[in-house]
Structure 1
Amino acid sequence: MGELLPHSYFSTDRLEGAEKFQVWRDSVSVLYQADLTSPDQENGFHALTDGYLFGGLSQIRCKASRQHFKRDRMRIDRDGIDHYMIQLFTRGRCHARTPQGDVIMEAGDICVFDNAQTLDTTNEDFDLLALFVPRSLLAPHIKDPDHRHYQCVRGDDPFARLLRTHMLELQKQAPRLTTEQGGLIVSPTMNLVAATLNGNPHENEGGEQAIRMAIVTTLKRYIEENIEDPALSPESVAEVFGVSRSRLYKLFQYYDGVASYIRDRRLAHALTLLTDPAQQQRKIIDIALSVGFSGESSFIRAFRRHYGFTPSEARQAGVLHAARETDASSGEPDIFGDREWEGWIRTL
């Protein structure tokens, strides 16, 4: 028999008092800022994660007390995590606040969260399964992949029933599966997720969508590799790839055009440098120039407009975050199991 699937288990049961939520909050900060909905919850708080890594995807059971989750633009740009989280609540429900209005996701529903987008939710006392899927693995197979955030497929939908059964059985059988068997499960799982999200697996849009996603992925990679080049622009990208400006805009329409996308990636790269402890001695003007801005004042204006705070404030937040991570790493991890699942989330 081969090596069993990588497994991660975390529980606050052996921690005491306020430490329960403090340790959990630090662990879940790999993705979200978590807050209790009232101070008196602290002593009775509980949380558990029990997950497995199946090749290129991970499924994790999460059981916890009522809490509020947020994922803001600064966190998204700092961690660079870019995957979907397909959730199935077996108990409790999720109240999501969106620009288009509130969305309530009930037990039995299939819920989609795009971790490249901001999030503001409150989960009741809950027990759920979360399937973490890299965008590159799923996006080519679903229609309109950048507009799936907060999508909810109701529990009585036939495909939702199939996917729910699959996820529950996957968690049940995972302890006995080998890494080789886990890898074989990835493709059929993606097909079932795509069928559930698309609503009709026979619609003939998959090929064109896959081609578009492949082109956009190539363009994004080129932009990322040249983000520090001051000459990087919509015109230079169009010239390198031999596409018209109008075609380029349509490909990046979701990002308000390629110029906006380049600017946002420059700012995200600057945020990474500002919050990196190894870059603390670098002057802000040097960072501004290194990510393609022509001067410090224009960089500060663009940064504040995008994030709502200044580069100096971002640098200070990075110092505090690094200090918290150092404090957390000095604890005794065997008290609560392990936090391997955090590494999976970062590297999927």
Structure 2
Amino acid sequence: MDASRGELVLSQPIPRVRHAILPGETRLDLARRMAQSVAFAFSIDPARTAAQPDFDFSAEALVLPEAVVARSRVRGRIAMTREAALIAATGADQLFVYVIVDGEFDVKPTRSGRRLRGGDILIIDLAQAVTLLGADYGAIMMVLARGALPDPLRRLDLHGAEIRGDHPLARTIVSTLACLCEDAPRMTQAQGSVVLRAAIEMLGLALTDVRRTRTAPRALKAMAEALVDDHLDDPALSPAWIAGRLDVSRATLYRAFAAYGGVTRFIDDRRSQQAWVLLTSAGDLSLGEIAARCGYPGRTRLVQAFSERFAVSPETVLSASEDDRAMLQEQAARAMMDAWDRRTGRSER
């Protein structure tokens, strides 16, 4: 073959880089290598990550002319941040595409106010700050130049853009990238590039659709409500936590919920409503389990909040006769309707 014509280069297998725990290696060693592998884009605290008794990490990266594609599996919680100092130090100006294969992911700041789940695709602009929080997840990551996307997408602010898993192209994009990762050992660089370019083209089409359908930014209140409903089980959920996630002041957030009586009241109402649903439909759950699912620090706090909201204790609901339970259901329905009136602005009570 004539190397000057490129046949030898094109016939070479796709370069790969693997990360997994080595014999005799500690979790801290693995966490440090993990942090180093993403240091061009994100900061990770190796000590805090490795302190988790169940922490584990494995990854394989494919290096192609158009992009770097990596498939990873993480056990435990991971926090990855990109702040102004790192942006200035690395000078990276690429797009980071995060495909959630399974598990869940949070992003701050967020455009949608929702937690990302399996099948969702997130676009991060490495020229902007962001924090990613994941736990027990599998993902495919792709770093590509802005110019790899079709015009005019490359000139738009795509930071934080999401392609939801129910988009017609989402599953095909995910499966194409998954097949690329799986079949890379048997592919040449030329074959890998063809598959990757197809995935990027579909990504561009999906982003164009997302841009067309988002005719206006979501209202702050709607985004905050989505965060609350998505994180009811998190004891840290609070006005300050929401304001931080949405990158707004607490005063701005409170104004959005003034008609409701404040953000704290909204959180309390949603938790008590969820507790009612679990209490009356999942009879095999203990009060402690219900408390945990609703974000209460313990059974005692659940009983207190539930009794204040519905004027009846959880134990009374559980032991009520059929006739009494029907009355209690109606009582709860009125309380929930009152909360919905405040939520939609139809009531100032």
Give the Cα–Cα distance (whole angstroms) in 2 for the partners of residues 40 and 130 of structure 1.
22
Residues 1:158 and 2:158 are matched in the alignment? no
Partner of 2:338: none
Give the Cα–Cα distance (whole angstroms) in 2 for the partners of residues 9 and 57 of structure 1.
17
Give the Cα–Cα distance (whole angstroms) in 2 for the partners of residues 151 and 200 of structure 1.
8
Superposed displacement of residue 92, structure 1: 1.3
* Matched length: 202
Partner of 1:24: 34
Give the Cα–Cα distance (whole angstroms) in 1 for the partners of residues 50 and 142 of structure 2.
31
- In structure 2, relative to structure 1, the CA distance for the partners of 1:88 and 1:97 (3 Å cut) is same
Give the Cα–Cα distance (whole angstroms) in 1 for the partners of residues 16 and 58 of structure 2.
14
Aligned pairs for 1:310-325 (under 5 A) are none
Partner of 1:169: 179
Superposed displacement of residue 118, structure 1: 0.5
Partner of 2:3: none
Identical counterparts, % of pairs: 18
Aligned pairs for 1:29-108 (under 5 A) are 29-35=39-45, 41-64=51-74, 65-98=76-109, 102-108=113-119
Give the Cα–Cα distance (whole angstroms) in 2 for the partners of residues 106 and 90 of structure 1.
8
Aligned pairs for 1:215-254 (under 5 A) are none
Greater relative CO, 1 or 2 (CA 8 Å, sep 6+): 1
Partner of 1:340: none
Q: Secondary structure at the match of 2:193?
A: helix
Give the Cα–Cα distance (whole angstroms) in 2 for the partners of residues 190 and 40 of structure 1.
34
Superposed displacement of residue 184, structure 1: 3.0
Give the Cα–Cα distance (whole angstroms) in 2 for the partners of residues 100 and 179 of structure 1.
36
- In structure 2, relative to structure 1, the CA distance for the partners of 1:39 and 1:138 (3 Å cut) is closer
- In structure 2, relative to structure 1, the CA distance for the partners of 1:133 and 1:141 (3 Å cut) is farther
CA contact under 8 A between 1:72 and 1:118: conserved in structure 2? yes
The gaps in structure 1 that reach 5 residues or longer are 204-348
2:19 corresponds, among 10, 31, 38, to 10
Partner of 1:145: 156
Residues 1:134 and 2:145 are matched in the alignment? yes
Partner of 2:135: 124
What amino acid maps onto 1:6 in structure 2? P
Partner of 1:199: 209
Aligned pairs for 1:298-309 (under 5 A) are none
Superposed displacement of residue 196, structure 1: 1.2
Superposed displacement of residue 70, structure 1: 0.5
Give the Cα–Cα distance (whole angstroms) in 1 for the partners of residues 209 and 77 of structure 2.
31
Q: Secondary structure at the match of 2:13?
A: coil
- In structure 2, relative to structure 1, the CA distance for the partners of 1:4 and 1:202 (3 Å cut) is farther
Give the Cα–Cα distance (whole angstroms) in 2 for the partners of residues 88 and 69 of structure 1.
15
What amino acid maps onto 2:140 in structure 1? L
Give the Cα–Cα distance (whole angstroms) in 2 for the partners of residues 22 and 142 of structure 1.
35
CA contact under 8 A between 2:180 and 2:196: conserved in structure 1? no
Over aligned residue pairs, what C-alpha RMSD do you find? Answer: 2.8
Moved runs in structure 1, 4+ residues, more than 6 A? Answer: 200-203
Superposed displacement of residue 101, structure 1: 7.2
Superposed displacement of residue 199, structure 1: 1.2
TM-score (norm 1): 0.52
What amino acid maps onto 2:59 in structure 1? T
Partner of 1:187: 197
What amino acid maps onto 1:128 in structure 2? A
CA contact under 8 A between 2:14 and 2:189: conserved in structure 1? yes
- In structure 2, relative to structure 1, the CA distance for the partners of 1:159 and 1:28 (3 Å cut) is same
Give the Cα–Cα distance (whole angstroms) in 2 for the partners of residues 132 and 102 of structure 1.
24
Superposed displacement of residue 37, structure 1: 10
Instruction: List per-residue Cα deviations over 1:144-187 (Å, max 9, x = no partner).
Output: 622x1121211111011221221122212211111222233343
Instruction: List per-residue Cα deviations over 1:94-134 (Å, max 9, x = no partner).
Output: 11121767441111111111111111121111110112111
The gaps in structure 2 that reach 5 residues or longer are 1-7, 214-349
Superposed displacement of residue 9, structure 1: 0.6
Q: Secondary structure at the match of 1:88?
A: strand
Give the Cα–Cα distance (whole angstroms) in 1 for the partners of residues 47 and 209 of structure 2.
35
Give the Cα–Cα distance (whole angstroms) in 2 for the partners of residues 60 and 178 of structure 1.
17
Name the larger-Rg structure: 2
